[in-house]
Amino acid sequence: GAVVSQHPSRVICKSGTSVKIECRSLDFQATTMFWYRQFPKQSLMLMATSNEGSKATYEQGVEKDKFLINHASLTLSTLTVTSAHPEDSSFYICSAKTPYAEAFFGQGTRLTVV
């Protein structure tokens, strides 16, 4: 299957700093990318959907000024957690797809804010 690479796999940052997570589709062009977060013992929750070249669509309750998503090319989307706080500590997962095809997922990023 197609490969989606997410980087970094783990990151620890200080409270108040920003963290950028990258999601790359390595062997296909992803027209749509999704960002999820997962708290312990809870479901993966969709945060936002992004289409190449346009603004991301955020789910209700997700702060778009805090979670900045950029989908500048067909192979790269980034999620920036701005002014991170301990409550932002979570597991973040991206997925990428082309129209009418299944979504492929990255390995996930474990963010810890101290």
Partner 1 sequence: GDSVTQMEGPVTLSEEAFLTINCTYTATGYPSLFWYVQYPGEGLQLLLKATKADDKGSNKGFEATYRKETTSFHLEKGSVQVSDSAVYFCALSDLRSGRLTGGGNKLTFGTGTQLKVEL
Q: Is 41 in the site for partner 1 (CB under 8 A)?
A: yes
Coil, strand or helix at 88: helix
State the Cα–Cα distance between residues 86 and 88, nearest whole angstrom. 5
Q: Is 51 in the site for partner 1 (CB under 8 A)?
A: yes
Residue 32 or residue 112: which is nearer to partner 1 going by CB? Answer: 32
Stretch that binds partner 1, among 1-9, 13-21, 61-69, 72-80 (CB under 8 A): 1-9
Check if the beta carbon of residue 69 is closer than 8 Å to that of residue 48. yes
Q: Is 67 in the site for partner 1 (CB under 8 A)?
A: no
